[in-house]
Amino acid sequence: MKSEKEKMIAGELYDASDPQLHADRTKAKKLLHRLNVTEYLVTDSAREVLKELIPNTAGRLYIEPPFHCDYGYNIFCGNQVYFNVNCVVLDICPVRIGNNVMFGPAAQIYAATHPLDKVHRRSEEYGKPVVIGDDCWIGGGAIICPGVTIGSGSVVAAGAVVTKDVPENVLVAGNPARVVRELA
């Protein structure tokens, strides 16, 4: 039988009130408090907090506080990933971010979602993984919805709401986001 954590990471319906998940969120919140309040400046001490909060990082990760996430351990970053201020990552499922990816202020990634059925929604939730390819730029205030893949080299315009997969090397904008043009 799977644990609630295993079900959560697999994108299955799970009970978010599970004690292990509660403890994991509490740990993340304590680390986020250190990053966002105690440290605030990007120092060696703040980098140590980031290593503990987001251990699945392949290279340089730069986060400008404040930053928010659910767990941290479901965020997988390549090398040279930059988050500007006020970014949010709801990482109940894996969020995979490639190399050389930049996020503008208040960009949001949602791997978390909820059942449409009101009875299930009262006690269960689930997620869908998000993938962002190499060399992407996610503009300020953009929202990446659950289950979306953004192809390498693409740009998401500020304020865009991405509800469907984005091909490689395109600019998307709007709500819902649509391809505006191809990029070289």
Nearest C-alpha neighbor of 91 from the set 103, 78, 76: 76
3-state helix, strand, coil in the chain (%, to 5): 25, 30, 45
68 is an active site residue: no
β-pair partners for 47: none
Burial 117-136 (b: 16+ CB within 10 A, else e): eeeeeeebbbbbbbbbbbbb
Q: Of the listed 22, 68, 114, 120, which one is catalytic?
A: 114
Would you please indicate which residues are annotated as catalytic (active-site) residues?
114
